[in-house]
Each structure stands twice: as C-alpha cells, then as structure tokens.
Structure 1
Amino acid sequence: MLTLFHAPRSRATTILVLIEEMGIGDRIELVEVLVRRADGSGGPDPRNPHPEGKVPYLTDGADHLRERGAIVVYLTDLFPEAGLGRPVGHPQRGAFLSWLFYYQGVMEPVLVLEGAGLRHPLLEATFRDLQAVIATLETALEQGAFLLGDAYSAADLLLSSPFQWIPDALSDSPRLRDWIARCADRPAMRAVLAREQA
C-alpha cells in the first residue's frame, strides 16, 4: 500500500491536496510525523524514513520517493483517470513535466533566495530572479486560465502552492493573483487547509 509521511502546514500539504483532488485518499495511508520547523521547534522523528527527516515522503512497497515534483508525477501516472497529470503519449506531457521541474529547479530556489534577501549575479544567472519567474508564469497564463490552458492540473497545484503561504512574493500582477485565487478556491484545497487548521 502507498504510504505518505507528512507534517501539517509543511511542503507535504501540497501532496495532501493532490490526494484530495484525485479522490484517492482511501488508497494511501497517511502517517503524520514531526519535522524541524523554521522557528526551531520540532525535530527528528524516528517514524519518518526520509533520509533527511523531511516531508513529504511517499513509499510504495520497496519503492520510496521524495521531492514533491517526483511524487506528483508518480501519483498522477499511477492514477491517470483523475486527470490531473499528463500521461506518457499525451501532447502536453512535456509541458507538464517541464513545469514540475521548473518549480523544483528554478522557482523554489528563487523564492527562497528572495525571502532570504540574497542577491548575486551568479545566482541570478543560474536560477533567474523573481521578475523572470513572474514573467514566465504570466506568459503561460496568457494562453488560458491555468498553466496548461483551460484545465487545472497538478502543475497548477505545485506552482501556486508557495503563494498560499507567502502571497507578498508576487508583484502587482492581476493575472497571477487571479490564477492563485482560482487554485486556492478549489474544494480540495479548502478541505485540506481546514483539516490542518483544526
């Protein structure tokens, strides 16, 4: 059976929302673990198999996955009928994967560097800067309501996720704010956030 190790109000929340969106909660065992928090609270949890003690962490028998982008691909490939991924052979498969890897390799590092107030030409040449990330998202959203057009996908969930926690990271971009609001207003997002706040 699939098992997801998670901690409330962490990066694992995105995967909980994905599971809710896909309607596969009855197929995944959820194990809540402690993690070290930015404020110094929490700490290692011996129940967490992640080698660095982080979340999310997904196991499927002997197979183990970490990193949200990898878990998103794994689950959307495993349950293609949910329609939140783009399976092999789909004309948007490359775009879907590109967005997931863009998030992990470019967007999240840029947001972390921006939040830390770190600037350096080498960092910006390697990862780009926040304005470049915003321009990339705005350009994609000129084609439709979501990153892959008019249909919401797991790419929208992942790439909009940091803005649920740090909305001030955005410039005054009506197009991006509307997209983030559409992603936040989904029943799965509201249900998971309500459970985590309870």
Structure 2
Amino acid sequence: MGDTTDEIVFYTHPQSRGRIVRWMLEEVGQPYRTEVLGYGESMKSPAYLAINPMGKVPAIVHRGVVVTEAAAICSYLADAFPRAGLAPAQDDPLRGSYFRWLFFAAGPVEAAVSAKAFGLLAPPDKAGTVGYGSFEQMADTLEKAAAGAAPWLLGERFSAADVYLGSQVLWGTMFKTLPEREAFAGYGERLRARPAWQRAAALDDALLSPQ
C-alpha cells in the first residue's frame, strides 16, 4: 500500500461492476495491472480486505491510494489523467452536468433497479422518502438523459459520465431491468461502437472463457 508509483492496480472479476472500470481504464489509455479475484475466499482474504473492507470489487490502487466504488473510480481516473479528456475542467460549466449524470446513475438508478429486482421498491405513499422517488420517475429521467445524449451526455464530448451512466443503460437493456425505450437502444448502440468499450468487453469475456 505504500507504492507511490504511477502504476494502476485493478482488482476485478469479469462478472462484476469491474467491467465498468475496465472500460474506463481502456478509455483513459494508461497501463494497468489486473488482479482477478474469485467470489468468496479470495475477495474475503485478509490481504484484499486490507484494500477494501467490503470484500467486493472493483477497486484500484494508484500512487498508494485505494479507490473503491465504480462511480468514484471513474471520477478519480478522469481527474488523475486529464489528457484523456474524460472530465470537464474545474472552471468548465459542463462540470455540473457531468457530475449530475454520473451520480444520478450511481444513486437513483442503481438504487431503483436493485430495489425493483428484489421486490423492495418504496410504496407510492413513501416515494418522497427515497432518492429515486419511484421506478417510473427514475426510468423517465434516465430516458431523457439518453435521448438528450447527442451523441453524448455533454454533447460532442464523451466523458466518464457516459461510461458510468452508459453502463447502467447497457446492462439494463441487456438484462431487462430497464423498460425498452428507443432512446436507450440508440444510446447503447453508440456506446458499443466505441473502441475502448470493445477492447474492455473482449478482455473481460476472455477471462470467462475456459482456459
């Protein structure tokens, strides 16, 4: 943990949210070392719990700093490697929209999709007490974001917000956890056409193939 080199160590599993971070790393274009952990013993080992006490992936270590949570990792990498152009500068008015959609996906979208999958959505009379309001409100707002992505959330500029929110759209349409919407399909098609997405998907899919 005392390593202060510029090496990025990436802890993941190919069937996890680590796929989001893999895509982000491919967009950043910096060398990184992948450590694949299995569910169960290796993720709960003392060595890995020292990195992430949650015993979950993804996580990265960079310059001696541990970053967990996929949205945080995407945001961190965008700022750590500004030459990749994946985040607006501090004084750029687009930075507000960037954070808005990045954390809308990390908060209301993740929470609503998970709650619906387990039959735990807040009842209508309690909708005002949860961040996503209702599943329908979340889905309609997400649809507006995807429909307004022309071609990306920040207009002509692709950003880490597209990586994270876009991943939610891609997974939601693949696993049918989001309703079918034309805006989701169009946005997803543009995302899958990105070379970095294709490289990341191929790397993770290769880890799933029998050796």
2:152 is aligned with 1:146: yes
Contact 1:110 1:130 in 2 (8 A): yes
Contact 2:13 2:36 in 1 (8 A): yes
2:13 is aligned with 1:44: no
CA RMSD, Structure 1 to Structure 2 (Å): 2.2
2:63 to 47, 50, 61: 61
Q: 1:138 to 1:59 in 2, by over 3 A?
A: same
Q: 1:143 to 1:31 in 2, by over 3 A?
A: closer
Contact 2:37 2:43 in 1 (8 A): no
Contact 1:35 1:43 in 2 (8 A): yes
Structure 1 unmatched ranges of 5 or more: none
Deviating more after overlay: 153-162 vs 130-139:
130-139
2:130 is aligned with 1:124: no
Q: TM-score if structure 2 supplies the norm length?
A: 0.81
**1:86 aligns to what SS in structure 2?**
coil
The CA deviation at 1:46 is 4.1
Q: 1:193 to 1:43 in 2, by over 3 A?
A: same
Aligned twin of 1:29: 33
Deviating more after overlay: 51-60 vs 124-133:
124-133
2:138 is aligned with 1:133: yes
Contact 2:20 2:163 in 1 (8 A): yes
Structure 2 distance, partners of 1:3, 1:43, is: 15
Contact 1:35 1:55 in 2 (8 A): no
The CA deviation at 1:143 is 6.0
Q: Which amino acid aligns with 2:150?
A: G
2:100 is aligned with 1:98: yes
Q: Tell me the number of residue pairs that the alignment of Structure 1 and Structure 2 aligns.
A: 192
- Per-residue Cα deviation, 1:45-96 (whole angstroms, up to 9, x for no partner): 4442211111111222332211112111111011111111122112211111
Q: Which amino acid aligns with 1:144?
A: A
Aligned twin of 1:19: 25
Structure 2 distance, partners of 1:112, 1:90, is: 33
Structure 2 unmatched ranges of 5 or more: 1-6, 207-211
Which structure has more RCO (C-alpha within 8 Å, separation ≥ 6)?
Answer: 2
Q: TM-score if structure 1 supplies the norm length?
A: 0.86
